[in-house]
Amino acid sequence: MIHSVAVITGASQGIGQATAVRLARDFSAVALVARSRANLEKTAALVRDSGAQALVIDADMSEVSSAQAVVEQTLSAFGRIDALLNIAGAVPQIDLFEMSEEQWNAGLALKLHGARRLTIAAWPALKQAKGSVVLMSGNSAIFPKAPYAAVGTINAAIVALAKSFADRGIEDGVQVNSVLPGPVMTGRRESYLEHWAPLHGMTVAEARANFPKEVKIARYGAPEEIAELMAFLVSPAAKWMTGSALRMDGGEAKCV
């Protein structure tokens, strides 16, 4: 019998995959959403090994129709939605004066508007379940810089969006928070370092070792560490926490 259901976007890799596997210990079923069905099937196997049912939904959340389709498929399979974790969305780290209109629009369409549309589409089910929502931002929301202006701008918008949903959620009984990770070692970050290193006269190993020193942190984070924070935010222990933007970055952001 299905007692609780979590929906996770970006579940095919990285933090999204780690979160899906972690939530399989707490939820009866997990709906896995991303563009790559092959990678989602790998996540689904891990989720089932951890004890939960898994539903694979290959969808591009930048497309307007995807939000309603994800909700309909989840409700058809499991009958409820108790938690929604909006993790999908990679924004290219390109200089403010070099970002094209297409790159700006793509980043906004997936990470910001994809999360917005899915949260709205799932809201009636979340309201019925007195559920929880998490939106993935990033610590660049706190210190946006010209070399990666789109990342900071979109992440800041997500924090504001989460607070707006949280305000409505007080009335509707839906808890909403955002998470601001720092530098986490995922496959995407490794690919970025492979591109960045030769442009700066470094090996990939040198680039990997150099970044934590530059930003004065002890090490990169692990996807599983962010997943633990996600699990807490959608657990009964965090029910009175709403409208919060939680930063987990190894101390990279030095502001109060």
Task: Note the pLDDT of residue 245.
Answer: 97
Question: Are residues 164 and 99 located together in one domain of the fold?
Answer: yes
Question: Are residues 127 and 191 located together in one domain of the fold?
Answer: no
The confidence band for 101, taking pLDDT boundaries of 50, 70 and 90, is: very high
Within a domain: residue 253? no
pLDDT digits (tens, 9 = 90+) for 111-140: 999 999 999 999 999 999 999 999 999 999
The confidence band for 4, taking pLDDT boundaries of 50, 70 and 90, is: very high
- The structure's pTM equals 0.94
Look up residue 12 and give its DSSP letter: T
Return the CATH number at 149.
Answer: 3.40.50.720
Question: Are residues 214 and 237 located together in one domain of the fold?
Answer: no
Q: What average pLDDT is seen over the chain?
A: 93
Question: Are residues 136 and 212 located together in one domain of the fold?
Answer: no
pLDDT digits (tens, 9 = 90+) for 150-163: 889 999 999 999 99
Question: Are residues 206 and 92 located together in one domain of the fold?
Answer: no
Question: Are residues 42 and 136 located together in one domain of the fold?
Answer: yes
Q: Are 176 and 135 in contact (CB under 8 A)?
A: yes
Question: Are residues 124 and 11 located together in one domain of the fold?
Answer: yes
For the chain, the domain total comes to: 2
State which residues form the domain around 202: 185-220
Within a domain: residue 111? yes
Question: Are residues 134 and 207 located together in one domain of the fold?
Answer: no
pLDDT (mean) for 179-202: 82
| Cα angle 220-224-229, degrees, rounded to a multiple of 5 | 100
% pLDDT > 90, the chain: 74
Task: Note the pLDDT of residue 10.
Answer: 97
Task: Note the pLDDT of residue 150.
Answer: 87
pLDDT digits (tens, 9 = 90+) for 19-74: 999 999 999 999 999 999 999 999 999 999 999 999 999 999 999 999 999 999 99
- β-partners of residue 29 are 5, 53
Within a domain: residue 256? no
Question: Are residues 73 and 89 located together in one domain of the fold?
Answer: yes
Structure tokens at 26: 């707490």
Question: Are residues 110 and 160 located together in one domain of the fold?
Answer: yes
Q: Are 52 and 75 in contact (CB under 8 A)?
A: no
The confidence band for 239, taking pLDDT boundaries of 50, 70 and 90, is: very high
Question: Are residues 190 and 167 located together in one domain of the fold?
Answer: no
Q: Are 88 and 54 in contact (CB under 8 A)?
A: no
Within a domain: residue 150? yes
Q: How far is CA 160 from CA 164, 177, 183, 238, in A?
A: 6, 10, 21, 20
The confidence band for 193, taking pLDDT boundaries of 50, 70 and 90, is: confident
